[in-house]
Structure formats: C-alpha cells, structure tokens
A and B are shown apart, each in its own frame.
Chain A
Amino acid sequence: MLRVARRWTAALLFASALVAPALAQEKVLRIAMTAADIPRTHGQPDQGFEGNRFTGIPMYDSLTQWDLSKADAPSVLIPGLATEWAVDPADPKKWIFKLRPGVKFHDGSAFDAEAVVWNVRKVLDRDAPHFDPSQVGVTASRMPTLRSARAIDPLTVELTTSEPDSFLPYNLTNLFMASPAHWQKLYDAVPADVTDPKERAKRAWAEFAANPSGTGPFKGVRLVPRERFEMVKNPDYWDERRRPKIDRVVLLPMPEANARTAAILGGQVDWIEAPAPDAIPAMQARGFVLYQNPQPHVWPWQFSFLEGSPWRDIRVRHAANLCIDREELKQLLGGLMGVPKGTVPPGHPWWGNPSFDIRFDLAEARRLMKEAGYSEAKPLKVKVLTSASGSGQMQPVLMNEWLQQALKACWFDVALEVIEWNALFTTWREGANHPNARGANAINVTFAAMDPFFAMVRFVTKGAFPPNSNNWGFFNTEEMEELVRAARTSFDAAARDAALARLHKRIVEEAPFLWVAHDVGPRMLSPKIKNVVQPRSWFIDIAPMDLAG
C-alpha cells in the first residue's frame, strides 16, 4: 500500500514538474502589421498611424491622449502625462500644462517639465544638440502652430503657439515623450573619435531606437530591423488600469495580405491587421474573431471649385452624394466599411446636425441633376484622379469603378485616371490647377479625421490652398473662414466643440466632397486574446488585453 502511495506521489511530483513551467509560461502576443518595416521606435513613429498604434502608444505617452477604452462612443481627448491644461487668458498664444507627478521613464529617470521642453526641442529647435531631422516631418506637421516650450516649475510647462490655436491639445497627442536622460547616456557612449556633434546625435538616436525609453505600458527590448520588434510589460506603469497583463508583444511586418492570412492560419501569429477580405469566412470558421469599428477616416472624392468645374454647382454636388447606395458598396466590400453621414458621424461632438442628409435617394438626385441641366441625353462629364493602392485607400479601383457605374444612374459620365499612390499625393498638394492634375475635377485621396485641422480646416480655408496644404479644389467662403476662426479661438472645450460642430454642419451642407466610406480598421484576432476593445479610432490599446492559456 505504501509502495503504491509512493508511486502516486512520485507520479504527481513528476506531473507537476512538467506542468509548472507551462503555468509560468510567458504570455506572448504576436502581431502581424501591414507595414513593410518596423515603424520607428525612438518615440516619433513613421508608417502613418499604424506606427503610432504599435510603436508609439504602447511605449510612449503624450501630454494629451485619445480615450481608447470604449467601442460604442467617439474616441475623445483625455489627460495623459498632463493632468490639466488651459490657455493663458492674458495671451492666447501661451498654454499652461500641469504635469502628472511621479511618472518615470523606463530607464528610471523622472518625467518632468524639462523633459517636455527637451522633447519639443528635438523636433522644433535646429540648434538643440538632440535635434533630429528624421523626426521633424512626422511630428511638426501634426502640430503646425507649436513653436516652443518653457519649464515654469518641475510640474508646469508653458507651450507657445504661432497664433491663438485651440486645437493644440489635439496636436499634442502626436508628440511622444522620450527620455532625455537615456538619450544623453547613449550620446555620451558614442565613441570619442566621432567628433561631429550632429553625427554623434544621429548615432545616439539610432541607438535609442534599438534601446528605447519612454513612459508607456510596454518597454522596447529587441529590434531586428525589418523583421521584428519585441516589447515587454512595464509593471510599474503609472496608470493602474493600463498595467499590462501580457508579458511580451512581438511585432512582425507583413505587407502582403495573403502572407498575414497564412501566418495566422498557420499559427505563426495571434493577430493580423487588415486580413485578406476573401479569407475572412475561412478564418472565422476556424474560430478567429474579426474586430472592426468605423474609424475617423474619410474615403472621399474631393471636388474642384476652379472656374469651369461642374462641381461648383451645389445641386451637382448634392446629387452625387444622393445618387450612390453605400449599403450596396458595403456589401461589395464584405461589410468592411462604415456608411458616412459626413466627415464625422452623428453623435460625435462635432456632428452639428447638418440640414443636408447624406443618403441614397435616386429620385432626388435625378431631380437635382435635371434642374442643373443634365439628362440621359446630356450627361455630365467628370474626371477623377485615384490610385491603384495606398494607405487608407481601401480598394480604390474596385470602389471607384463601382462609383462610376452607380453615378451613371444620375447621368454622370465618370472618367477615372489611376496614377501611382505617391504621385497622387504629390498631385494632391499641387492642386487642381496644376498640370499634373491632368484636367481632373475631383481627386480621391483618403484622410484621417481625428483632429479639427486635419478633419476640416485644411479643406476649407484660403490658407490651406495648394501648395500650402490640402485644399486641392480651392474651396473657400468667407463664412468658412469665420467658422474656422471662431473654432480656433474658442478655448473652452465645450465652446470649441460647439464651434467645430457649426463648421462641420456647414461643410456637410456645402458638400465639397462626395463622402463614400469610412474605413473600419478590420483586424483578425485569435480567440485566446481577451479584453479586446476596438474603439472608433485609428488606434487600439494593447495594454488592457490578456491572453487565455
């Protein structure tokens, strides 16, 4: 009997020895991104918002940040490393930000006002020893009015803008805080034979990218250029609700949709961005879970308002918006699109209840076209520039061909010209009157609509006429200028949102776009990933997620 008991004990001990390591096994989340390379890891990611999503937000914090905790409400601005902020009533070009106490960078140094000043100077002050040209473009373009920063005390910083600008708190979501102390350590470690300070700074930043230090919920630990980037959890993260449960996150660049699909089906990754639409049913049949939610993204035709453009007639613009059955397009895209009602959706703080209802109403569209002087016998010829692919463009050729067919019902004769994605971007900046526009009177370039400047202002003001910004079609009225001015100088958040709502209402009513779709950011995840919230945002928060065994 004793022998039997001993055998059982031995067997149990052996079994527990086998099981123990499994129980203690590291929770590793492997993500296949659409990017062809690891987005830059030094704090100001490239690769568009996919960069911010995967190597920005998980490792770094900004003074203000997006609320990514809700799937059923707009993602709004919330405090990040700043707990509160206000414009100086005496000088509306100055902002005072109160900083969160007790926050530490991954290297153990303290986050304070001097760190904020240092991070502003890294992209705005060419004379700063740590100025990095490679970070300027992606950062300065997203905070066009910020000029300088000054520490008032360790937890108070003053930011100065070039003009009164109530949009600054939105812009600051793009300025991630990297550790000055860590950078300095790496700078000092550059071999002494490198004497040029610029070259030393460049090398220090390259080293920083491989060995980053922010204040975020994950710490970067391993970079294999173009292949993988690994982050481990930061157990001391300042926000208890976002303290990670997953031990390690591995990011893998996989630009090819079929490769990503095969990788998740073959068990190489747990999460893929933008799955191949045709393979979605097969993946769902194997238990993978599709997440999607309309993003602040607009897939439009942007109209030209130059002399001679047929889009100058508001009846034609409204007719185009009423002529297309977006639900049909949604079906064509396998359900992977949001149906737009404007640049922002109803319920958004900037919605504003426009009187023009964007819907499918063929009879009304035809009536407007008839009134404008067009008919089956006298169709309206329009020409649209688009690309064959590109970030955020979804499926541009398919969608534009569908539009071409759908608009025929309202006597639009659409000529499409497909050019390379980068060339399209250049043309977008050059404007409708440039020879490179090839006589087109509409352009199909998708855009992010997260902050007021990028969602609205740059499409309706005179200051944004090409080549300054993206008002490609030269759309502008005195009323728009006034509405923008009012929004920019409304420093109370509620008043600013109300002003932006008035602006959005008028933009929808004036219809300088054909609003076609919102992207829904589809991603396929393994069912073992828990606590997933896909917000109405370009971003997603990995920190609260967990992995089931």
Chain B
Amino acid sequence: MLRYTLRRILYALPIMLGVSLVCFLLVHIAPGDPLVSVLPPDATEALRRQMAELYGFDRPLPEQFLRWLARALGGDLGTSIATARPVASEVFRAVGNTVTLAAFATAIGFTLGAIFGFVAGYFRDSPVDRAASALAVLGVSVPHYWLGMVLVILFSAQLGWLPATGAGPGGSTEWAWDWEHFRHLILPAVTMSVIPMGIVARTLRALVAEILSQEFVMGLRARGLSEFAVFRHVVKNAAPTALAVMGLQLGYLLGGSILIETVFSWPGTGFLLNAAIFQRDLPLLQGTILVLATFFVVLNLVVDVVQTALDPRIRRA
C-alpha cells in the first residue's frame, strides 16, 4: 500500500509541472496587456515600456516562467500586479472562504444526493424514483447562476430574509459560526449544492439499481438476510464508485465557482479568479490556478488511495 501511495505521488509530480507550464502559457498567450490594471489604456507607449521593464514583462517567456517556477517552488507565488499584495496570502485567504462554502454545499449536496440516489435506485420505476430522479435531473440541468439569482430575488430582494451578498456583516476576516454569519452562507451554499446533488443522485441511482440486479444480492436474500443487512452490502459495493464521484465533485466545489461567488460576492477563489481575469493580473491568475490545480491533483490522489484501501482489486489492476 505504501509503495502504491508513493508511486501515485511520483506520478502527480509531472502532472503538477505540466499544469504550471500550461497555466503560465495560457495566461500569457491570452490577448490583452498584463499591465492593464496598473496602466490606463491611454498611457503612452514609452510609459508602457517602462512599466513592462519594471515588472519584468520585457524578458523572454522561458526566463519569466523559470523565475516564476523557482519562486513558486520556494512558496513565493509573487505579488499581485493590481493590489501589490502577496499572491500567496490572497489565494489562501480565498481558499479558506471557498472551503467554508464548499464544506456546507458538500454537506447539503452529498446528503441529499445520496438519499435521492439510494431511494430512487432501491425503489426503481416507482413514483418515489420518478420524483427523486426528476429532482436530480433538475439539479444537473438548471444553470446554477440562474438559480442563484432567483434565490436572491426571492429570499433577499422580495422577502428580505437572507442577505444577498458578502461573507458576513464585517467581512470574512471576522467570520464566526453564529446565525449572523451563517445566514450569509445559506443562499450561495444551496445554489452550489444543486449540481453535485444531482450528479451524486443520478450516479447512485444507476449504481444501486445495477448492484441490486446482481446475483449476490439474490444470494443474500436467499440466505435470509434482513433487508437492512442487504442494504449495507449494497452500500459497501457502491461506496468506491460513489466516493470517486464525490471526490471529483468535492474537487470542483473546492475549486470555487466563478459564477456563484461573483453573484453572491463571496470572497473565495472563484471571485478571486474573476477579478484576476478581468484585471489581467497574471501573477494572481497563475498563483490561483496553480493552487487550485494542486488541490485537485492532491484530492484525486487521496481519493485514489482511499478507493484502493476500500477495494484492493484496484491496486492489483
């Protein structure tokens, strides 16, 4: 198991290097001037050249990449062009806010998704299945930014029950798990949970239905096991696949959502990426993408390892 884990970590390293190279190149080949946030469009060419020199953008791309990579390996993701603040502190503060949001959205999405999926799979083709499936399909089909806006119109603008934006009355740095702050979390988290809820429900429904049709289930029942005991076996068999799907979904949620975080002005990684993109803040963009990609790779690694622990056949394969 240890060798397998080490091998998987080794595989992750070239992936990370590739990711950093791709994200560096992508942000550099995108049209537009990286100095746009510190240089008005009507600035003279001479001033633009001076600024490019001050920020090191006049150097060849490979040199810029190697300098950036060397600093990133040392934990220094550079300084944001637009704010002059260290990128690392900006990204990790945003990651903390996204994790708070993602954790709550995960709790809602996975719980509801698992319930709907198991119920629909267990009672296949029944009205309960149809209702649960309809909800799941709705979850994956409704554009979440649209749902967010509808929820805001309803619960904030019309009823005035919940705040529409922000991460608490004093900002995220004063976050506390009390009602005043928690109410800021409800609308974005519910909006964010809809897609994973739908995906988990649909996957589990198919999975449970498939497992139930296998001969070993008939065997379990023939041996006189209670329905609850059979259910436990079904859950255990469904767990590796469900875990993989949930892991991927958790990765997506931890990556933040540009749309949801922008709609709700939630200061997470999606909000940060949005600002970085619009300001052409290359160091911030590169740093955020790198951190998110690392998250995703690490999360997949963890899921793989846990999956293998749960189902040794995977290791052998």
Question: Interface of A with B (CB < 8 Å)?
Answer: 32, 36-37, 40, 46, 48, 132-134, 136-138, 140-142, 144, 202, 205-206, 209, 224-228, 252-256, 258-259, 261-263, 265-268, 419-420, 422-423, 425-426, 428-429, 445, 447, 454, 458, 467-470
Chain A residues whose CB sits within 8 angstroms of the CB of B73 once the complex forms: none
With A36-B271, A259-B165, A468-B46 already in contact, 15 other A-B pairs whose C-beta atoms are closer than 8 Å? A32-B165, A46-B82, A133-B38, A136-B54, A141-B39, A253-B265, A258-B149, A262-B153, A268-B165, A422-B32, A422-B36, A426-B31, A426-B33, A428-B41, A445-B41
For residue B171, CB closer than 8 A to chain A, the reply is yes
Chain B residues whose CB sits within 8 angstroms of the CB of A445 once the complex forms: 41
Nearest B residue to A468 by beta-carbon distance?
Answer: B45
A266 CA / B152 CA spacing, docked (Å): 9
Whether B42 lies near A469 (C-beta < 8 A) is yes
For residue B267, CB closer than 8 A to chain A, the reply is yes
Choose one: B38, B55, B274; the contact of A46 (CB below 8 Å). B38
Q: Which of B197-205, B209-217, B275-283 contacts A (4 or more CB under 8 A)?
A: B275-283
Could you pull out 22 A-B pairs where Cβ atoms are within 8 angstroms? A36-B278, A40-B82, A136-B54, A138-B40, A140-B43, A141-B43, A205-B84, A206-B84, A224-B173, A228-B166, A252-B166, A254-B165, A259-B165, A262-B164, A265-B157, A265-B158, A268-B166, A426-B31, A447-B42, A468-B46, A469-B42, A469-B45
Question: Interface of B with A (CB < 8 Å)?
Answer: 31-33, 35-48, 50-51, 54-55, 79, 81-85, 90, 93-94, 149, 152-153, 156-158, 160, 162-167, 170-173, 262-265, 267, 271-272, 274-275, 278-280
Within the complex, what minimum Cβ distance (angstroms) separates A493 from chain B?
Answer: 24
Most buried by A among B55, B81, B157, B162: B157
Choose one: A46, A225, A428; the contact of B37 (CB below 8 Å). A46
Within the complex, what minimum Cβ distance (angstroms) separates A131 from chain B?
Answer: 10
A141 CA / B152 CA spacing, docked (Å): 41
Nearest A residue to B159 by beta-carbon distance?
Answer: A266
Chain B residues whose CB sits within 8 angstroms of the CB of A263 once the complex forms: 156, 164-165
Within the complex, what minimum Cβ distance (angstroms) separates A516 from chain B?
Answer: 19
Chain B residues whose CB sits within 8 angstroms of the CB of A227 once the complex forms: 166-167, 171-173, 267
Chain A residues whose CB sits within 8 angstroms of the CB of B48 once the complex forms: 429
Chain A residues whose CB sits within 8 angstroms of the CB of B163 once the complex forms: 266, 268
Whether B83 lies near A225 (C-beta < 8 A) is yes
Known: A262-B152, A268-B164, A425-B36. Contact between A206 and B85, CB under 8 A? yes
Choose one: B40, B156, B279; the contact of A36 (CB below 8 Å). B279
Within the complex, what minimum Cβ distance (angstroms) separates A350 from chain B?
Answer: 18
Whether A137 lies near B40 (C-beta < 8 A) is yes
Known: A46-B38, A140-B47, A259-B264. Contact between A267 and B272, CB under 8 A? no
Whether B84 lies near A259 (C-beta < 8 A) is no
Chain B residues whose CB sits within 8 angstroms of the CB of A262 once the complex forms: 152-153, 156-157, 164-165
Nearest A residue to B37 by beta-carbon distance?
Answer: A46
Within the complex, what minimum Cβ distance (angstroms) separates A227 from chain B?
Answer: 4
Chain A residues whose CB sits within 8 angstroms of the CB of B152 once the complex forms: 258-259, 262, 266
A253 CA / B274 CA spacing, docked (Å): 12
Choose one: A226, A266, A428; the contact of B157 (CB below 8 Å). A266
Whether B43 lies near A137 (C-beta < 8 A) is yes
Most buried by A among B48, B83, B263: B83
Whether A420 lies near B265 (C-beta < 8 A) is no
Choose one: B43, B55, B82; the contact of A133 (CB below 8 Å). B55
Whether A226 lies near B32 (C-beta < 8 A) is no
Whether B47 lies near A137 (C-beta < 8 A) is yes
Whether B83 lies near A133 (C-beta < 8 A) is no
Whether B171 lies near A228 (C-beta < 8 A) is yes
Chain B residues whose CB sits within 8 angstroms of the CB of A426 once the complex forms: 31-33
Would you call the interface of chain A mostly helix, strand, loop, or mixed? mixed
Whether B45 lies near A259 (C-beta < 8 A) is no
Chain A residues whose CB sits within 8 angstroms of the CB of B54 once the complex forms: 133, 136
Whether B275 lies near A226 (C-beta < 8 A) is yes
A266 CA / B158 CA spacing, docked (Å): 7
Whether B171 lies near A422 (C-beta < 8 A) is no
Kindly list the 7 A-B residue pairs having the minimum CB-CB distance in the complex, ordered from nearest: A422-B32, A141-B43, A137-B39, A224-B171, A423-B31, A266-B156, A262-B164
A46 CA / B51 CA spacing, docked (Å): 15
Known: A259-B165, A422-B280. Contact between A265 and B156, CB under 8 A? yes
Whether B42 lies near A259 (C-beta < 8 A) is no
Chain B residues whose CB sits within 8 angstroms of the CB of A206 once the complex forms: 84-85
Chain A residues whose CB sits within 8 angstroms of the CB of B272 once the complex forms: 226
Choose one: A37, A132, A202; the contact of B82 (CB below 8 Å). A37
Whether A256 lies near B263 (C-beta < 8 A) is yes
Within the complex, what minimum Cβ distance (angstroms) separates A3 from chain B?
Answer: 42
Chain A residues whose CB sits within 8 angstroms of the CB of B51 once the complex forms: 133, 136-137
Whether B83 lies near A144 (C-beta < 8 A) is no
Whether B32 lies near A420 (C-beta < 8 A) is yes
A133 CA / B47 CA spacing, docked (Å): 11
A263 CA / B155 CA spacing, docked (Å): 11
A137 CA / B43 CA spacing, docked (Å): 7
Chain A residues whose CB sits within 8 angstroms of the CB of B40 once the complex forms: 48, 137-138, 141-142
Chain B residues whose CB sits within 8 angstroms of the CB of A254 once the complex forms: 165, 265
Choose one: B31, B50, B262, B267; the contact of A259 (CB below 8 Å). B262
Chain B residues whose CB sits within 8 angstroms of the CB of A132 once the complex forms: 84
A225 CA / B37 CA spacing, docked (Å): 16
A141 CA / B35 CA spacing, docked (Å): 13
Chain A residues whose CB sits within 8 angstroms of the CB of B31 once the complex forms: 419-420, 422-423, 426
Whether A467 lies near B38 (C-beta < 8 A) is no
Within the complex, what minimum Cβ distance (angstroms) separates A28 from chain B?
Answer: 11
Nearest A residue to B157 by beta-carbon distance?
Answer: A265
A262 CA / B153 CA spacing, docked (Å): 7
Chain A residues whose CB sits within 8 angstroms of the CB of B166 once the complex forms: 227-228, 252, 268
Chain A residues whose CB sits within 8 angstroms of the CB of B47 once the complex forms: 136-137, 140-141, 144
Choose one: A36, A268, A469, A470; the contact of B275 (CB below 8 Å). A36
Whether B265 lies near A138 (C-beta < 8 A) is no
Chain B residues whose CB sits within 8 angstroms of the CB of A37 once the complex forms: 82-83, 275, 279
Within the complex, what minimum Cβ distance (angstroms) separates A491 from chain B?
Answer: 23
A252 CA / B83 CA spacing, docked (Å): 16
A454 CA / B40 CA spacing, docked (Å): 12
Chain A residues whose CB sits within 8 angstroms of the CB of B158 once the complex forms: 265
Nearest A residue to B275 by beta-carbon distance?
Answer: A36
Nearest A residue to B149 by beta-carbon distance?
Answer: A258
Within the complex, what minimum Cβ distance (angstroms) separates B168 from chain A?
Answer: 9
A268 CA / B41 CA spacing, docked (Å): 34
Within the complex, what minimum Cβ distance (angstroms) separates B174 from chain A?
Answer: 8
Most buried by A among B38, B41, B163: B41
Within the complex, what minimum Cβ distance (angstroms) separates B81 from chain A?
Answer: 7
Whether B157 lies near A255 (C-beta < 8 A) is no
Within the complex, what minimum Cβ distance (angstroms) separates B32 from chain A?
Answer: 3
Chain A residues whose CB sits within 8 angstroms of the CB of B172 once the complex forms: 224, 227
Whether A136 lies near B50 (C-beta < 8 A) is yes
Within the complex, what minimum Cβ distance (angstroms) separates A126 from chain B?
Answer: 8
Nearest A residue to B271 by beta-carbon distance?
Answer: A226
Whether B42 lies near A141 (C-beta < 8 A) is yes
Known: A259-B152, A261-B157. Contact between A137 and B32, CB under 8 A? no
Nearest B residue to A135 by beta-carbon distance?
Answer: B38
A209 CA / B82 CA spacing, docked (Å): 13
Within the complex, what minimum Cβ distance (angstroms) separates B262 from chain A?
Answer: 5
Whether B45 lies near A225 (C-beta < 8 A) is no
A422 CA / B41 CA spacing, docked (Å): 9
A224 CA / B267 CA spacing, docked (Å): 10
A423 CA / B36 CA spacing, docked (Å): 11
Nearest B residue to A174 by beta-carbon distance?
Answer: B40
Choose one: A138, A268, A458; the contact of B38 (CB below 8 Å). A138
Whether A138 lies near B46 (C-beta < 8 A) is no
Choose one: A144, A256, A266; the contact of B262 (CB below 8 Å). A256
A253 CA / B267 CA spacing, docked (Å): 10
